[in-house]
Structure 1
């Protein structure tokens, strides 16, 4: 049968569905706890600093296993490796819901990350190896949906479940797609022989360096802002570990005879350029998902369900847009689609640059819709180009590197934005305070009017004056934060525009490019 007319069997599509469903569940769990952290911290008796480890533990464990997935999948067989990790992921989800202390929660979240991290890169591998070339664009589009839709609706789902049921249900939720994904994996994937002998010949020194450097970097990025960055000895030590571990890991894998992950695939322009752009994608998509809820909670005073409503508008429209992606990729150069998606996302951020404290749900819908339109346009073509035309083993490594860089980009973006918002708020507040001092007469008039209004509720004139002064200070602080959030969106937009310089690195893929058979 001609490759352009070959069609996948039902069993092959079920294999793809199993992989996509597993990846969707794992990516959803990255963000789903964010809107419920305060409830979880309260139930477990943890402070906000301690509770941050609920997310950090997941990300640190996940970043270790993603690069290992291609190698371990070839040793244990993809069916066995995927099914075991899906089963363990379900078990750790239930254990998280039943946790009664913070150490238990951190341990089980790490287990979730270590097993869920397997489900993400294997999805691309299964699409590339199970579908004929003519239908791979559909599979890639489905994977793109998991990569952007899942984190977009994570806070919405988590907020709704927490407000209407309890935080435990954000973990019990995995009992719905998890067993279905497991059943499909066992039915649709062919068993493969074990190659346990390859474990003894594995590059364990390189694995050790990677398992030291990448989680150390994730820890620094996730905890740096809370611990005052390099003013904290533990952040300094973590940075040193990250530099030594990642530097050693890269050198080791480039020099080893049998590396556990083939970094040389990055010499392929599309793989290298795709990973670079995936880092930017992770930074802006996770960064915007971070900034919008924080703005809504701090400035507008929204609860979790209201925040979920706002965030929802960057997620749900993608369900309509993603089915069109295979058609668009057949009609247009995928690189042009990446440019179009990047510009749409940048435009949405430029709209938010002019934030005021009056900007709420209704005003945030348009930029959220623009993000929803932009994300599929650069996520799906990038996933396609970064794994096109590779041998199956190299496809697994390229997929692992692409997903690893997206996750690292997300951590970098959130760390950078949280730090910038904090520092820009201090700067804006200082400028406002100085302006109020220069205009002392106007400030005093405003203060006197507010104090007089307070006298209707406060008899003591000194107390009324103090409350009026506090109100003016809180208003100045609010405006400083609003301007800082506007600055954050400006940074995201400019970063996206600058990232377009990497587009020439991407090669135009051949029509319906598929994997090259390994010899």
Structure 2
């Protein structure tokens, strides 16, 4: 395995990490568990507002289009801070940075619950994303920096749960809390895991030396390019469908800014001797394959979590709480599958395990592409369980591939880039699926409209039957006829949407199954299994 480019100590270079003892004490496990709690909390907050968005918008007197910025602001800030965590860890140390950013996350979560108008909510959500986003890569960094190789499979297995369980549990928890206690409770609930996280990190990690000189010597031009590029790309993806994509000057402007920013980031990173995050890691084959597939998994995770609640709400008429009861079956079984996957990862080529996970995940999406208007909890239960079986195998093995052969000083960079790519993949997936849903609904509506013609005998019989039914309820013939035509039109629209949702799941399923071939471009990897295990490649 090709190792990363070594750098001489100096400004911007990570300090050498101390040797990790083979035996892990309770303090270290508590610190790792606290880090996992933080990652779970941060990912959960991406999705948790979706179930309560209607109530939030009603309180803040905002439209649906204006309300989309509540999620966009969080995602923009989160995607910007993730690549910066490597720099902040070098500057403040793990302990101080995690405690500080968690405390600020709790502050801004509370302020979200007290938001008095849309503008204040967007600002607080943006700050919540900037402080909480760092917790995602930090959890993975803790596993790699504090656990010996033989224990990392367990740590990465738990980390994988945070990435796959949280998107499934977000709508569930949000729906329950909003219905029982009101929408502000979805923000206040962060205090429970947040306080535990701070306590765990304070007890589990030793104090690190603060090195503020890192900020003075940081590549601020590259950071500015990165922030502009990633934030603009996220805004373009989140707002593109509602603004008709490149027909809008707004979208064209942000697309240009995204291109300029990302290109500028890459150029300055290559030219800089000590970049704030090491993009050269993409030159390693395993890391490149893992991050590409991580983006695809992000599309699948967030895409399926986007499509299914919409289908259940729009077609089946489910309440947020009922939607949560369906979605949770994509998460709960993972608690039992993940330990099994971690054990297998030490014995079996991880490429095989990842392919199995991709197959199960993709198969579940293909099964979801055969829904009809009567599909509900009973029909969706097993597809959710199949998905929950596959996802842990994918997330655990991709983490293994991404961190394989990474030098200790580059582990924060690797964790940042790996998690950034997954979140970007989620944004891309949701944007593409939202556009596909709109376009395919128009397509199917036009196709069905040709079949359901007023000149068709079958259609006319249906309209006559509905007209008679409305007349029996006291409507005059003209009103009853109009209501019958409207009812037929509503059925056509409903079936068009059902077919569009099916198309979306079919596309996601095909992409996931197609990635099985991509997996074999990576080298063979197994998780270390013994106390003296080294790199894990075989």
Structure 1: distance between partners of 2:305 and 2:188: 23
CA RMSD of aligned residues (A): 1.6
Matching of residue 259 in structure 1 with residue 278 in structure 2 = no
Q: Of 273, 281, 288, which residue of structure 2 is paired with 1:272?
A: 288
CA contact (8 A) 2:347 2:526 kept: no
Q: What is the aligned partner in structure 1 of residue 419 from structure 2?
A: 403
Q: What is the aligned partner in structure 1 of residue 178 from structure 2?
A: 162
Q: Of 85, 108, 112, which residue of structure 1 is paired with 2:128?
A: 112
Q: What is the aligned partner in structure 2 of residue 227 from structure 1?
A: 243
Task: Report the secondary structure of 1:505's partner residue.
Answer: coil
Structure 2: distance between partners of 1:350 and 1:225: 24
Q: Which runs of 5+ in 2 are unaligned?
A: 1-18
Structure 2: distance between partners of 1:169 and 1:506: 44
Matching of residue 358 in structure 1 with residue 374 in structure 2 = yes
Task: Report the secondary structure of 1:7's partner residue.
Answer: coil
Q: Which 4+ runs in 1 deviate beyond 3 A?
A: 513-516
Task: Report the secondary structure of 1:437's partner residue.
Answer: coil
CA contact (8 A) 2:351 2:525 kept: no
Sort the Cα spacing of 1:129 and 1:426 in 2 relative to 1 into closer, same or farther, 3 A.
Answer: same
Sort the Cα spacing of 1:291 and 1:214 in 2 relative to 1 into closer, same or farther, 3 A.
Answer: same
Shift of 1:408: 0.5
Q: Of 289, 305, 325, which residue of structure 1 is paired with 2:321?
A: 305
Structure 2: distance between partners of 1:279 and 1:411: 9
Matching of residue 491 in structure 1 with residue 496 in structure 2 = no
CA contact (8 A) 2:359 2:516 kept: no
CA contact (8 A) 1:4 1:134 kept: no
Structure 2: distance between partners of 1:136 and 1:377: 15
Q: Of 313, 323, 327, which residue of structure 1 is paired with 2:339?
A: 323
Shift of 1:361: 0.9
Under a length normalisation based on structure 2, what TM-score does the superposition of the two structures give? 0.93
More divergent stretch after superposition (381-390 vs 413-422): 381-390
Structure 2: distance between partners of 1:404 and 1:253: 16
Matching of residue 420 in structure 1 with residue 452 in structure 2 = no
Matching of residue 284 in structure 1 with residue 300 in structure 2 = yes
Shift of 1:300: 0.4
Structure 1: distance between partners of 2:93 and 2:465: 75
Task: Report the secondary structure of 1:331's partner residue.
Answer: coil
Shift of 1:515: 8.2
CA contact (8 A) 1:286 1:414 kept: yes
CA contact (8 A) 2:165 2:334 kept: yes
Residues 401-458 of structure 1: CA deviation (Å, up to 9, x unaligned): 1100100000011111111011101100101111122862221122112111110124
Q: Of 125, 136, 142, which residue of structure 1 is paired with 2:152?
A: 136
Residues 127-164 of structure 1: CA deviation (Å, up to 9, x unaligned): 11111111111101010010100111000000000111
CA contact (8 A) 2:225 2:264 kept: yes
Q: Of 62, 77, 99, which residue of structure 1 is paired with 2:78?
A: 62
Shift of 1:249: 0.9
Q: What is the aligned partner in structure 1 of residue 254 from structure 2?
A: 238
CA contact (8 A) 1:67 1:404 kept: yes
Task: Report the secondary structure of 2:403's partner residue.
Answer: coil
Q: Of 319, 332, 336, which residue of structure 1 is paired with 2:352?
A: 336
Q: What is the aligned partner in structure 1 of residue 6 from structure 2?
A: none
Under a length normalisation based on structure 1, what TM-score does the superposition of the two structures give? 0.97
More divergent stretch after superposition (384-393 vs 458-467): 384-393
Sort the Cα spacing of 1:515 and 1:6 in 2 relative to 1 into closer, same or farther, 3 A.
Answer: closer
Structure 1: distance between partners of 2:368 and 2:98: 41
Q: Of 99, 102, 116, which residue of structure 2 is paired with 1:83?
A: 99
Shift of 1:390: 1.6
Structure 1: distance between partners of 2:457 and 2:437: 31
Structure 1: distance between partners of 2:450 and 2:526: 60
Shift of 1:5: 10
Q: How many residues align?
A: 514
Shift of 1:511: 4.7
Structure 2: distance between partners of 1:36 and 1:481: 23
